[in-house]
Structure formats: C-alpha cells, structure tokens
Structure 1
Amino acid sequence: MRRIGIIGCGTAGIQLAYSLKDDFDVTVHHYEEQQNILDGRIRSTQVHFHPTLERERRFNLPAEDNAPPIRTIHFQLGQQKLFTGKLSGSAASVDQRLHFAESMHDLAAQGVKFIHRRLQPEDLPDLAPSYNLIIDATGKAGPLAPAPVEMRLTPYQAPQRKCIVGYFTGVQPVEPEGFSITVLPGNGEMFEIPAITDAGRATILFIEAVPEGILDVFKGIKNSSEFVARMANVIEEHFHLIYERIDMDQLALIDENAFLQTAITPVIHRPYAILGGTLILGCGDSVFLSDPITGQGCNTASYAAEQLYETLMTHKELTWDEAVGNRLLEPYEAIYYGCYGMEQRDDGAAS
C-alpha cells in the first residue's frame, strides 16, 4: 500500500486524512497533541457553507449537530440594514479547536498514525524517502516545501486587513439567526457568526480593519480583559445595530484564549515540488493564502482537498510525478482567480 505523509492538521489536512485513509497508508505530522489544541488559542473564524458540509459528510468527518444552523446572511452598510438573504443550503460554524481535536481522536481510532513534532523545511530531505507522496497542508505558516511564489497570481505585497477576532457570550443573535456582515466603507468590516465551542454556544465577532483606519485600534492589547473592553468601545462607537443586542454586563470571551489578532498578506505558491524523487503536493493556505475579506479560507481548503483527492484517485495506480502536480494546476487556478475576483485571459495571465 502506498504511503502518504500529510503535514498539518487543519481543514485541508484533516479532510485529506479522512478521504485517503481507506486507500493508502496515511501518517499525519502535526506538532500539537489534541489537548494542546483544545486548551490553546482560537485558530481563526470559520463558516462551513453547504458544499463544505456535504464534503465532510461524504468523507465521514465528525458531525457537530449542536452547531446553530446558519440559513441567512444579513448585510448592513454603515448603520443601514440593506437586506437579509437566504442561503441555498444550511451552513455551520464549529470552533476549530473542538473540530480539529475531535477529528484527530477519531482518525487515530481508525488507524491513522500521528507524529507530533514541529517540522522545518530542512527536515523534508530526510522525511521524503519515508513516503511515496507528501502533502504540505501546513496552512498560513507554510509552505515547508520549496514551492516558489506565483507572482502573476499574487497582486498584493502587504496585508490588506488587520484581523481582530473574539468568541463571545452576551450577544443576542440577530433575527433570523444567521451570518451578519457590516461594512464601513474605506475602514473595514465586522462579521458576526453564531458558533458552537467546547464551552457551548458563542458569537464570533470578527473585525477586518483597514490598516491605520478607525477600526485599527487593537495595537498593544495583550490580555482578554483589555480585548473585551476595546471591542465593546468599538462596537458602541461604530456598530450600533450590534450594540443594541449586547448586554454589556454579560459581554465576555468564552475563555482566556478566545481572542486573536493577526494580519495576512495574500500570496499564491506553486502547488507542487519534487524533493529527492518524492512528489510534494500543496493544499489549502500553504498554496493559496487568500485575503481574509473573501471569508473563504476553510471552504477553499475543503474544495482544494477534494480536488487533490480526486487527482490522486485518478492516478492511484500510476506514477506520482510532476505530471500529477500539473494536473492540479487547472482546478487550483480556478481557486486563484476566484479568491481575487480576477479574470483569466486567453494567454493564461490574470487581469
């Protein structure tokens, strides 16, 4: 049986482990144990829309039936409510700490091997001979593989947003309950997401701040109490429709690690490399780290993982070489252009 090593245990890595485990000998390399993930800082935000949930059912990932169903999207421009739209299929948001830890436990029970060690790029030459294929699903920190940046598909050289995220109690859901977007033109956006966590239900408040704009006011905040106080001030000043639904005496993070600040520079990498004769295929954020304003990180990773799975199954009995990497270019480039709203010209360039 062919051996596949998956580096990373995020959305792409987990889905690939589930989809490939019955046909290949799969080992997942991830530096954290399950309990470290549960006890650690939140990873990001996440809304798994209907196509992603369908993929998870297809590959028998653990279902979180307690997650509040997301069937509507509310859109505000400044202080004005513009519309409420109905999704074609239900979506859901599960704290990635809970989802990842549960999935790791389930995969291990089904025979998938885990090696808990933080890998560096210099470790790959020694690792490559152990596998017929390595999948680099290292996420935002990646890629580990020597995969160059695709400059024609990478229009930005600096973060377009500061990302400020907290998982809160004390927020009354919007009605009908769903996913809410408030846009402050020229300054950023606020996303409000109902979610399930290890501590129960929560509301994710996610600010995308234009750097140096009026929402970029979380610099220097190090602890949870300061974060909650600053978030309350920002909501009271700039997001009145949300403020009306908050009990300020009850507003709190679900735990001390339930907040995050980061900034992401969108970048696209070539999705494959050859190292010592072993093919390394990229997937998820280690290939296309998209601008957070698209709100599609986990769904893009899920789609890419399915495309990689389909490619490998098509080549199950064939040689895994550069031709397999090239087979990924067409579906992956469709993702590239979708991430940035670009059109592909006849000569293959972006416009």
Structure 2
Amino acid sequence: MTSSGIGIVGTGISGLTLALRLQQLGVEVTLYAEKTADELRAGRLPNTVARMRRAQEREEILGSVHGRLEGSLVSGARVHVGGTPPLEFRGTLADPFHAADFRVLLPALYDDYTARGGRVVPTPEPPGAREVDAWSAGHELMVVAAGRRSVAELFPRDGRRSPYDRPRRSLLAGLYTGVTLNGFFSYNVSPGAGEVFSLPMVAHGGMVTGILVEAIPGGPIEPATKLSYRENPGLFLHLLEKTLAEHAPRLAERIEPGAFDLLGPDDVLQGGVTPVVRRPFATLPSGRIALAIGDAWITNDPITGQGANLGSHCAWVTADAIAGGGPYDEEFARSLATEMWKVAGPVTDWTNAFLGTPPDHVLRLFGAAARDPFVADHFVNLFGDPVRAWALLGDPDAVDALLASRAGLLSEEGSPATGEV
C-alpha cells in the first residue's frame, strides 16, 4: 500500500464504517466530508433506522459502541395486519435490534475516526464528478458512499435492477415523546393503505419512540404524511393519532393522553424514496476507478429496515477487499460488486416485493404466525438475516413447506396457545 491510501466521500454509516475498518486494518484513509461531527449532531432528523445484530457486531469489533442506554435494545416484535378480523402476533428476537438517532451515532463514529488519527478534508459544497476525479490523483482508489452531485454524475441507474421510477410510499418519520416504551418493534400492515412501524430509539437526551408511516399514494394514510408540524402542530398530531388508532391500534394504545408530541420541530422527516440500484463503479476521466457503496450504490425504501445494515455490510466487505491489495482496477471493482450483491440482491428484491400487494403465500405465513409462536418467532427473526428472509418470503413453495412441517408437528403435539399481543 502506498502512502496515498484510500479516499472516501461521505460520512454516513457506510463511509464511516469503511473509514474505521480500513484504519483498523492499517490502510491509510482520507475522509472527504461535507459536515463536521458537530454539524451532524445539530442537523435535521435523517431517518429512523435499526441496526441488526451483525451491524452491531461490526461496531463491537471496531471498538465503536455507542448509545447502549438502558431499554435501547429491541427484544421482540409485535405485528398487526389489518382485516376482518385482523391478524395479530408477537415474536421474540434471538438477537435484539438497536436503534439510535443517526445524529447520535454518526458523530460518535466520526469522533472515533478522528481521535485515532484519521484525516478529514472538508468539502464546503457537495462534490461532483470533477472533484472526485481531482481527489483521485492523490489516492489509489476513491470510494463514494454519499453525495448528491457525485452520485448522479458518476453512477447511472441500473434499469435491470430498478423496477420503479418514482416513490412507492409517502413517508413520515419522527421521534416522539408521550409513548410508553416496551422494548418491542411494532410492525403494522394496513392493506391498501400502507404500513406503520415504531421502535424505541436513543436520541439526544435519552430514549424516545421512533415512528415511521409508509403511506400508499392516494390511500387513506397519505394525508397524515403531508401535514407540516411547524405550520400546525395540533392538527399534525391529531391526524397522526387518528391514523395510528385506525391502522396501528396497539401502538395507539401506548400513547399517553395529553403527552404525545414530536421531540422537536427538527425531529421529523417527510418525503418519498425512489428505490434505485446504480452502477457500482465508474471509470473517472483520469482513468482511475471510483466505487459506489451504501446509498451511493443502492437506495431502498425503508419498509424492510435494511438500509443501515446493508450499508454496514457493504463497507465491511469493501474494507476487507481493499486491505487484500490492488490493483484497484475495473476487475477489482467488478469482483467486489459481485460479492456485495450476494446480500444486496436479496435485500433489494425483498424490499421491492414488500412495496407491492402482499402475495397469498406471505398472508398464509402471517396467518400461521398468529396461531403458532414458532412461526411468529421465525418471521420476526428474518429481519436480522435478509438472505434467509428472501429465500423464504420470495418462494411460495418454501413457505408452504415450512407451514406443512409445522402443521404435521402440531397435529402430533396439539395446537399451542399464542401469546397475548
């Protein structure tokens, strides 16, 4: 490895994980950052995400464990599927999730990187392809993990892997007080309307509840995602409470009368995500290679909660490949993209599938989970293993085989009682 090392653009979960891992492996790194750690702390809510066990394990290996407050680990999931009657079940997570506001987590990772001697080059304006190419002269390889201009200019959309050209959901994400914390992930499906998710999250100052509303455009939930909290806080909260009561009733039951509110006016995010897979690498005008990882490569809707986990995974695979040595040419980039797609492909297919109407075999799985705690546990633990998740959820025969095996076992043992939701 020469003294020039690796240049990384972006300070999201992918860029910072990659920088810390390369640093740990003895590879020289330069991080190109639009914001300082303090600016990240002071920004608007970027998302509401959970990191599953494998992402947490990577942070433990890095020695960068942050935000492990009491009550911050998510130990189970409660599922509600609307209908007449509704389906309800709960499952226990073998490996708890952890959810932290990225304005808490990312600055802490940033500080770890700089405290260990990491070099940061500020980029006052969003860089484009020209800047990335210019920086590449000082590095063996450029990795783009974030950036609006650079992503759009360097990595075109892969139409084969990008079935949608517009958002499939209208989103409302926020951090709320006045909701009783119970250590569970709440997963609510309202057919024809959308989905509502909630989980306990670490925020500045302690534990809050993160709520994500995913509304089908034109459906009954969409109005709640469009109102401005700043313009009319009372109406915003009233409509959200009404929406939760109808489409996420178990979550609504945990709202404390008169106490429900956003943590603050900057603790809300509204809009939509167009799912897209881009080309995973580019040949710069100089002839050098730039890799895309994280959101620069793949942007998925948050409906399956895999974004941060996929970003962490891809950063780790990329770091190990880089540490193995160059040349960092097109063959290297193509081989690395193939390796990353082994997880990214199932995540993308699963996420895109769940943006459509739930197929019959998934509804059969939900129905079985409401009757059988084993199936309930099996389903909720799929979120921690996306490859296994898609192998089951994408295959009607696999679901039917699982249900048939349980039906045979239960006929011998007697039907178990489901847990109270």
Normalising by structure 1, what TM-score?
Answer: 0.90
Residue number among 254, 269, 278 corresponding to 1:245 in the alignment: 254
- Select 1:115's aligned residue among 100, 118, 121: 121
For 2:165, the equivalent position in structure 1 comes to 157
Q: Which residue is equivalent to 2:197?
A: 191
The CA RMSD measured in Å over matched residues stands at: 2.2
Q: What SS does structure 2 have at the residue aligned with 1:328?
A: helix
- CA spacing shift, 1:62–1:324, aligned 2, 3 Å: same
TM-aligned CA deviation for residue 279 of structure 1: 1.6
Given candidates 77, 84, 88, the residue that maps to 1:73 is 77
AA in 1 matched with 2:228: I
Q: 1:172 to 1:253 in 2, by over 3 A?
A: same
Query: Which residue is equivalent to 1:255?
Result: 264
CA distance in 2, matches of 1:140, 1:88: 37
Query: SS in structure 2 opposite 1:58?
Result: helix
**Identity, % of aligned pairs?**
26
Q: Secondary structure at the match of 1:202?
A: strand
Which one has the largest radius of gyration? 2
Q: Which runs of 5+ in 2 are unaligned?
A: 354-394, 396-421
Deviation at 1:124, TM superposition (A): 2.2
Give the Cα separation in 1 of the matches to 2:130 and 2:221: 40
Q: Give the secondary-structure state (helix, strand or coil) at the position aligned to 1:62.
A: coil
Q: Size of the alignment, in residue pairs?
A: 340
Deviates more, 1:29-38 or 1:161-170: 29-38
Residue range with higher mean Cα deviation, 226-235 or 43-52? 226-235
Whether the aligned pair in 1 keeps the contact of 2:177 and 2:259 (CA below 8 Å) is yes
* Amino acid in structure 2 at the alignment position of 1:247: E
1:21 alignment partner in structure 2: 23
Q: Distance in 2 between the 1:230 and 1:35 partners?
A: 34
Aligned amino acid, residue 9 of structure 2: I
1:348 equivalent in structure 2:
none
Q: Deviations over 1:31-84 (max 9, x none)?
A: 112222212111101101111111111222233221611121111112735211
**Aligned partner of residue 92 in structure 1, secondary structure:** strand
- For residues 1-351 of structure 1, the aligned pairs below 5 Å read 1-22=3-24, 23-66=26-69, 68-78=72-82, 80=86, 82-117=88-123, 118=125, 119-138=127-146, 143=151, 146-174=154-182, 177-217=183-223, 218-221=225-228, 223=230, 225=233, 227-275=236-284, 276-314=286-324, 316=325, 318-334=326-342, 335-341=344-350
Per the TM alignment, residue 240 of structure 1 is displaced from its structure 2 partner at its CA by: 2.3
* Residue identity in the other structure for 1:126: A
How far has the Cα of 1:140 moved from its partner?
A: 7.3
Which protein has the bigger helix share? 2
Distance apart, 1:331 and its partner CA: 2.2
Q: Deviations over 1:92-137 (max 9, x none)?
A: 0011001111111221111111222231233223222121111100
TM-score normalized by the length of structure 2 = 0.76
* SS in structure 2 at match of 1:148: coil
Indicate if the aligned counterparts of 2:128 and 2:153 stay in contact, CA closer than 8 A.
no
Q: Displacement of 1:220 after TM fit?
A: 4.8
Distance in 1, matches of 2:67 and 2:346, equals 32
Distance change (3 Å), C-alpha of 1:112 and 1:54: same
- The amino acid that maps onto 1:241 is R
Matches of 2:201 and 2:282, distance apart in 1: 37
Instruction: Determine helix, strand or coil for the equivalent of 1:256.
Output: coil
For 1:99 and 1:208, locate their aligned partners in 2 and report how far apart those are by CA, in whole Å: 24
In structure 2, do the counterparts of structure 1 residues 239 and 337 end up closer, same or farther at CA, with 3 Å as the change threshold? closer
